[in-house]
Chains A and B, each alone.
Chain A
Amino acid sequence: MREILTISKLNNYVKNLIQDDPYLSYVEVRGEIINLKRYATAIYFTLKEGDTARLSAVSFNIKAFPSTLKEGDEVVASGRISVYEKSGTYQIICHDVSYYGLGAKLMALQALKVKLEKTGIFSADKKRKIPRFPKTIGIITPKDSAAQSDIITNINRRYPLATLKIINATFQGDSAPLSLIKAFKTLNETNIDVMIMARGGGSSDDLWAFNDEALVLALSERKVPLISAIGHEIDTTLVDYIADLRASTPTAAAELSVPDQNELRQDLANVEIRLQNAILSKYDLLHTSLVNLTKRPVLINFNEIIKTIETSLLSLRTKLGAYSAKIINQSELLVRSQSERLQHVTINRLNRQGEDITYLSAKLLTLNPKNVLERGYAFITRDQAVIKNAKELKTKDIIKIQFSDGSVKAEVLEGEEYE
Chain B
Amino acid sequence: MNKVLSFEEKLSRLSVIVSELESGKLSLDASLALFEEGNRLSKELATELNNAKVKIEELQSK
Contact = CB atoms under 8 A, between A and B. Distances in A.
Partners in one complex: yes
Interface of A: 132-133, 135, 152, 155-156, 160-169, 179, 182-183, 185-187, 189-190, 261, 264-265, 268, 271-272, 274-275, 277-279, 281-282, 285-286, 333, 340, 343, 347, 350-351, 354, 357
B59 to A, nearest CB: 4
A256 B46 CA distance: 22
B54 A162 contact: yes
A182 B56 contact: no
Contact of B7 (A133, A167, A272, A282): A133
A357 B52 contact: no
Majority DSSP secondary structure for residues of B touching A = helix
B24 A278 contact: yes
Interface string B17-28: 110011010101
A278 B59 contact: no
Given A164-B55, A278-B31, A286-B28, A265 B8 contact: no
B2 interface: no
Contact of B24 (A164, A190, A281, A354): A281
Contact of A169 (B21, B35, B42, B61): B61
A359 B29 CA distance: 14
B54 A274 contact: no
A274 B34 CA distance: 12
Given A275-B17, A278-B18, A350-B32, A132 B56 contact: no
A282 B31 contact: yes
A160 B54 contact: yes
A354 B29 contact: yes
Contacts of A167: 58-61
A227 B39 CA distance: 36
B3 interface: no
Majority DSSP secondary structure for residues of A touching B = helix
A190 B59 contact: yes
Contacts of A333: 50
A278 B45 contact: no
B54 A278 contact: no
Nearest to B14: A271
A291 B14 CA distance: 33
16 contacts: A156-B53, A163-B57, A166-B56, A166-B59, A182-B62, A186-B62, A272-B38, A272-B39, A274-B22, A275-B39, A278-B18, A279-B21, A282-B26, A350-B32, A354-B28, A354-B29
A133 B24 contact: no
A347 B54 contact: no
Nearest to B21: A278
B8 to A, nearest CB: 4
Contacts of B46: 265, 268
Contacts of A265: 46, 49
A359 to B, nearest CB: 13
Contacts of A264: 11, 45, 49
A163 B43 CA distance: 22
6 pairs of A and B residues whose beta carbons are closest in the complex: A278-B21, A160-B52, A133-B8, A182-B61, A156-B54, A167-B59
Contacts of A179: 61
Given A135-B6, A183-B61, A347 B49 contact: no
B49 A166 contact: no
A161 B59 contact: no
Contacts of A357: 28
A164 B57 contact: yes
A354 B54 contact: no
Contacts of A281: 24
Nearest to A138: B59
Contacts of B60: 167, 186
